[in-house]
A and B are shown apart, each in its own frame.
Chain A
Amino acid sequence: MNEQTDRNITADSVDRFDGSGRTVSTTANATVNATADTINRAADRGDFDRMESRIMQALAARTAAAAATDEPEFGARTVAGTTNVGVATVPYAGHTDGNASYDALVTHATVPHNAPENTSADEAVNTAIANALAASPLRREHAIATAVQAGVPKRVTLWSTLREARGSLRLRDLFFGAWDCVAVALVMTVAVWLIPFLRILSDGARVFTDPGILYASMFLAAPFLYEATHLLVRWREHEQRTDELLRTMRWSFVRLCALRMLVMGAVAATLIVAYGLCVNAVGMQMGLVESGGITGAAGMPNATETAGFLMTTNAPISRFSLATLLGVAFSALFLFGIAQLAADVRCRWPWSMAVVPTAWVVLGAVLLVWHDVLTPLLTGLPPTVALVTAVATGIAYFAAMNRFVRLSPAVARFA
């Protein structure tokens, strides 16, 4: 129906362009009425995008006709509907950012065309446009709501940031100019995470029966990707001197960084799960994680070797728990995230970049050195508790992030 109307509008304008404007046919009048109906129906439904599109098409057709007949495009003659300028000039939702075409649309709609030959047809459209713009209660309410929305500062939340980002920022925009930093961070993360993994492969029996060292390693390494990306991207922007420009954009730098952190947090979380599953799979392969001997893969101790080890050391089998590992890793990631957000708010560059990683490395080193103390503590912990702790820190992280995106640049030293 709408496509049909579009074609009819075009046909009408061509008709006039050919110089037959003096006799607008019954078909043309019907087309105009159909246009008016479409506009009115769209307005009544509150489908303002469609309404605006139809009005624009009608105006374009009329402008073309005016140009063809060498008439002044818009005359001074006033007809019904021009008294509604006050309402009609209220900014339109989604088009408030200096949309000249909409302003033109409103102006055109309220200053009717002076076309003596086509007066009845034009007035039909004029009336429809004016009615659609002004008379529809929905339109008026919408316009008022839009004006209020534009005038009152919006409350920025993490959710609103994500919602707005979905409409305007793409993933490639988030790390624009810094994808190489992301790649380097990923490579570094793989290297760091490989260290405990290689330890598992070389001395799996000891690691799985004394998993404190594995948990401590994961506590230390889990936030690595998150922090490495954050640090490298910030350093790059600082070195390239693009950060100053980015801070003057409508999308605040704080919100931009928050989105980056969320994306890298999500990637880190995915990798943690994958890593945990890999560790678990290796443990199963070694016959350490689940009871029942399975033949080890090439280069790995098989079940007989494992059993021999266990007999000599009298170590209990399978103290390792995937849930605990994931709980520790996620808790570490979220705690680190919270600490980094706090540092970003309270410390100046470059200290904000250095303080948390340094503290984290020290803490991780302490845990690694005293993993003997850590092992009974964490192995004795029910896995559910570890997971609940991870969820709790996750909630705290998102709450901290929600506060972070609301920060005024005047308050946040980071910005």
Chain B
Amino acid sequence: MLTVDNVSKKLSGKTILHDINLEFDHGVYGLLAPNGAGKTTLMKLMTTLLFPDTGAIRLDGEDITALGERYRGQVGYLPQDFGYYPNYTPRQFLRYIAALQGMPRAGLDERINTLLDMVGLADSANKRMRTFSGGMIQRVGIAQALVHDPRILILDEPTAGLDPKERVRFRNIIHSFAANRIVILSTHIVSDLETIAGHIVMLRDGTVFANAAPADICKSMEGKIYEVPADMPLHFGQRLLSEVQYGGVTRLRIYSPEPIAGASSLPAPGIVPTGPVAVAPNLEDAFLVIYGG
């Protein structure tokens, strides 16, 4: 188990994280917060790229700083700004990463082939990465994080640059991988987290605002999300979340802390509602409500 105990971190005199307490067991954990909220800092702390000012991060009760290489050898990391070697092939790059992770050479080629196949780069395994698209580079990054079969996988914005098909492939990889491992990922694509993550950690003002299953977070919004006609004025406390298009009709998706009088439930598909309608909240609604739409 990976635990974050009372961790605080200041960067350039500004408090980025304040008294963070988290526990990560098996499964997928999604970090959700707007830019600058401290997601990347928290991930860097968990990969020993940064060190806490106060508190400690522990793996099975032992401080990860003290564990040193014994910890790093169990962690796979995909940085937000993944740097690669344009003049080398993915196969060469993965061999290099495997060497730095102290993997034995025996059986390495099979492992690399499996990984390249898994991320859909088997056909491009021997092409120089300078010819790759952003999505392909990102997939190389995912493969390098998995090459040593880590116990903890930390992915910072892993779905950035991936097309929908590749995002589905990524979700499948993560699902199969996370069965008995810890996967911590951050992404701005809230729908990705909704489908991948078993737990959502929301950070706000450098603290943990919510740490729950996506369904539980959505449940807390139940009865507060409505779709209303575009011309309906918003009352005090109500907040616009997004616009919804029904053919040529635009309706507003809003948050209302108080029930809206006369709101009906969502009609059958194909029928455009005319008045206010209570709708089922999703994680994006929660995100917009919590962080301000």
Let me know if A242 and B84 touch, CB within 8 A.
yes
Query: Is residue B81 contacting chain A, with contact meaning CB distance below 8 A?
Result: yes
Let me know if A173 and B99 touch, CB within 8 A.
yes
Query: Is residue B209 contacting chain A, with contact meaning CB distance below 8 A?
Result: no
Interface residues of A (CB under 8 A from B): 97-98, 153, 164, 168-170, 173, 176-177, 237, 240-252, 256, 408-410
Let me know if A245 and B79 touch, CB within 8 A.
yes
Q: How far is the CB of A41 from chain B (nearest CB, A)?
A: 24
Closest 5 CB pairs of A and B: A241-B83, A250-B73, A242-B83, A249-B100, A177-B85
Q: How far is the CB of B86 from chain A (nearest CB, A)?
A: 8
List the count of A-B residue pairs having beta carbons below 8 Å apart: 89
Let me know if A247 and B49 touch, CB within 8 A.
yes
Q: How far is the CA of A130 from the CA of B47 in the complex (A)?
A: 40
Q: How far is the CA of A164 from the CA of B101 in the complex (A)?
A: 12
17 A-B pairs with CB atoms under 8 Å apart are A97-B103, A164-B102, A176-B88, A176-B92, A177-B85, A177-B96, A240-B83, A240-B84, A244-B49, A247-B48, A248-B72, A248-B77, A249-B72, A249-B100, A409-B51, A409-B65, A410-B51
Q: How far is the CA of A247 from the CA of B75 in the complex (A)?
A: 12
Let me know if B73 and A252 touch, CB within 8 A.
no
Given A244-B49, A250-B73, 12 new contacts (CB under 8 A): A97-B73, A153-B66, A153-B67, A176-B85, A176-B88, A177-B85, A177-B96, A241-B81, A248-B75, A249-B97, A249-B100, A252-B72
Q: How far is the CA of A48 from the CA of B101 in the complex (A)?
A: 24
Query: Contacts A97-B103, A177-B87, A410-B51 given: A250-B81 contact, CB under 8 Å?
Result: no
Chain B residue at smallest Cβ distance from A252: B69
> Which of A153, A244, A246 neighbours the largest number of chain B CB atoms within 10 Å of its CB?
A244
Query: Contacts A153-B66, A409-B48 given: A250-B100 contact, CB under 8 Å?
Result: yes
Measured between beta carbons, the chain B residues less than 8 angstroms from A247 are 48-49
Measured between beta carbons, the chain A residues less than 8 angstroms from B101 are 249-251
Q: How far is the CA of A235 from the CA of B164 in the complex (A)?
A: 36
Measured between beta carbons, the chain B residues less than 8 angstroms from A164 are 102
Let me know if A153 and B68 touch, CB within 8 A.
yes
Query: Is residue B14 contacting chain A, with contact meaning CB distance below 8 A?
Result: no
Q: How many residues of B are in contact with the other chain, CB < 8 A? A: 35
Measured between beta carbons, the chain B residues less than 8 angstroms from A173 are 96, 99-100
Chain B residue at smallest Cβ distance from A173: B99
> Which of A168, A169, A245 neighbours the largest number of chain B CB atoms within 10 Å of its CB?
A245
Query: Is residue B149 contacting chain A, with contact meaning CB distance below 8 A?
Result: yes
Chain A residue at smallest Cβ distance from B51: A410
Q: How far is the CA of A245 from the CA of B84 in the complex (A)?
A: 9
Chain A residue at smallest Cβ distance from B67: A153
Let me know if A410 and B96 touch, CB within 8 A.
no
Q: How far is the CB of A255 from chain B (nearest CB, A)?
A: 9
Measured between beta carbons, the chain A residues less than 8 angstroms from B67 are 153
Query: Is residue B235 contacting chain A, with contact meaning CB distance below 8 A?
Result: no
Query: Contacts A248-B47, A251-B102, A256-B100 given: A410-B65 contact, CB under 8 Å?
Result: yes
> Which of B68, B75, B81 neighbours the largest number of chain A CB atoms within 10 Å of its CB?
B68
Let me know if B47 and A250 touch, CB within 8 A.
no
Q: 1/0 per position for B80-116, CB-CB distance to A under 8 A?
A: 0111110110001000110111111000000000000
Measured between beta carbons, the chain A residues less than 8 angstroms from B70 are 153
Measured between beta carbons, the chain B residues less than 8 angstroms from A251 are 69, 99-102
Query: Contacts A242-B85, A244-B79 given: A98-B72 contact, CB under 8 Å?
Result: no
